[in-house]
Structure 1
Amino acid sequence: MAELIELSSKQHANLKVNIHAEADFASNQHVMNLRVSEVGMSVSSFPVFFTRNPQNGEWGISAVTSFEAGKNLFVESQQWTATYKPNGMQTYPLYLMRSPKNDNSYTIGIDESNPVFSIEEGEQFFDLDGKATPYLHQKTKLLEADIKNDMQTYEFTKHIDSLNLFKAIDLLVSYENGTVQTLKGLHTIDEDKLQALTAEQLFELNRKGYLSPIHAMLLSIYQLNLLVNKNNANTDFLPVKNIKLEINRPNHI
């Protein structure tokens, strides 16, 4: 990511955002980051899995939006077509950053070099009086909530990991032309280990509110059928013949 600078009513009084910025941002993402607070709503549209950051090893939650890297089946003609819109998409192109005035607080940052910004047309951040527009208010509220949501997601995945409930899977996509593509790096809940938990462990999962997203994510696997249907209805994508989930074992290649 390019260096961020603080959004300012003085410096960016006339700055606007392209109205298609969110959809254009999502259009080349075949997986989209989610927080645990979004899982219940996201599974209405996507298959949802756990993923692991290769840089720091931290667990996250991701919605799969297509079988091909760099493509998204839910963006058509610069319009978002899914029932749910992930928060990471809703807040784009704004980010939380450490305040240059106070290391203990956050502020809104932007990448000025991003082509979604202009002074000609689009959604404006500030009105003529230099006050935040409803557009900026909405995005700021979502970004502020992300601090809490990120912590909740960290605690959720940490607890799942402590119970050794993650199960690595490969998604094998067979196309009509005979080619097979394997999507790696996906994890779901190991149902056998979940069923083997003690009553105390299950009670704790329920007390923390973790059972609902766990079951929602397990059921969301059936949304892979929706992806196949959307894929095969779009002539820009290779037709899929079938898909198969395989457990990724240590010696699996």
Structure 2
Amino acid sequence: MSDHQLLNVAAHRDLRVRRERSVELGDGVMTALVVPDEFRQVQASYPILFRQNRERDGFVPLALFGFDAGENLFLADGRWDAPYLPLSIDIQPFLIGGAPDGDTTPKAVIDMASPRLSSDDGVRIFDREGRPSPYLEVILERLGALDAGYRGSAAFMDALDRYGLLEPFTLEVTLDDGSTNRLVGFHCIAEERVAELDAATLGRLNADGHLLPIYMAIASLANLPALIARKNRHG
């Protein structure tokens, strides 16, 4: 169970964060939330798919790491085997929250239940004088980028819905050992529908900053054969 606390030097001065990557540290996940602002970096390594959110009133974009629940094919020997780590993974055990008094200003929150936290192993959050460490300064920048990405993603998802640019995506993979994996419940960008858009619509999407992430999401599906190859190597 999570234990979210607003980050402050008085309570968290001596905490450290373990930066290696493993299932035991919470990296055993099949997908991670991504935002359109990072699609260019994400598409270099991972397929980008879309899934209905828990409230089922819209979709969220996800980077795909495996084919089964809890499977992350990018974990290898205590590291993450890809050049880019999605922001929602990279910032852990931190997240964005608001103040208890209802202040809407984004605040840095730490999950005290995270297995990444330690008192004697890992990178310091604050230095010995109580100042943010270089690591924390980077994390705060990434939290800000993620917050801005969250805020901008609603307009992007609205555009996909307005122009009918999502379609169901199902993938059935027969592995080298003869077993079959079936990926269901996801959507992807409908490439043919994008190609049918008229110049005026393409112009609006481009002016709103949506056209690039649309094409990045389409391009990301080229990573599926490499992900299947990882699955075959992992067995």
Both structures adopt the same fold (TM-score exceeding 0.5): yes
Structure 2 matches for 1:112-151, cutoff 5 A? Answer: 112-151=112-151
Whether the 8 Å contact between 1:59 and 1:154 is mirrored in structure 2 is: no
Structure 1, gaps ≥5 residues long: 238-253
Structure 2 matches for 1:153-172, cutoff 5 A? Answer: 153-172=153-172
Structure 2, gaps ≥5 residues long: none
Amino acid at match of 1:9: V
Q: Which residue of 2 aligns with 1:216?
A: 216
Q: Which residue of 2 aligns with 1:37?
A: 37
Q: Which residue of 2 aligns with 1:93?
A: 93
Question: Secondary structure of 2:49's partner?
Answer: strand
State the shift of 1:21 in Å.
5.6
Matched, 1:61 2:61: yes
CA spacing shift, 1:27–1:102, aligned 2, 3 Å: closer
State the shift of 1:195 in Å.
2.4
Whether the 8 Å contact between 2:99 and 2:105 is mirrored in structure 1 is: yes
Question: Secondary structure of 2:9's partner?
Answer: coil
Whether the 8 Å contact between 2:30 and 2:70 is mirrored in structure 1 is: yes
Whether the 8 Å contact between 1:31 and 1:65 is mirrored in structure 2 is: yes
Moved more, 120-129 or 102-111: 102-111
Whether the 8 Å contact between 1:6 and 1:110 is mirrored in structure 2 is: yes
Whether the 8 Å contact between 1:25 and 1:89 is mirrored in structure 2 is: no
State the shift of 1:145 in Å.
2.0
Whole-angstrom CA distance in 1 between matches of 2:133 and 2:31: 31
Whether the 8 Å contact between 2:175 and 2:232 is mirrored in structure 1 is: no
Whole-angstrom CA distance in 1 between matches of 2:19 and 2:83: 19
Whole-angstrom CA distance in 2 between matches of 1:14 and 1:40: 36
Amino acid at match of 1:136: L
Deviations 1:186-240 (A, max 9, x none): 2112223222222211110121222222122112212111112222223xx2xxx
Whole-angstrom CA distance in 1 between matches of 2:131 and 2:101: 20
Whole-angstrom CA distance in 1 between matches of 2:125 and 2:208: 38
Identity level (%):
26
CA spacing shift, 1:117–1:191, aligned 2, 3 Å: closer
Cα RMSD after superposing both structures: 1.9
Query: Stretches of 4+ moved more than 4 A in 1?
Result: 21-26
Q: Which residue of 2 aligns with 1:71?
A: 71
Alignment length (residue pairs): 235
Q: Which residue of 2 aligns with 1:10?
A: 10
Whole-angstrom CA distance in 1 between matches of 2:168 and 2:127: 49
Give the number of the structure with larger relative contact order, counting CA–CA contacts within 8 Å between residues 6 or more apart.
Answer: 2
Whether the 8 Å contact between 1:22 and 1:92 is mirrored in structure 2 is: no
Structure number with bigger Rg:
1
User: Whose helix fraction is larger, Structure 1's or Structure 2's?
Assistant: 2
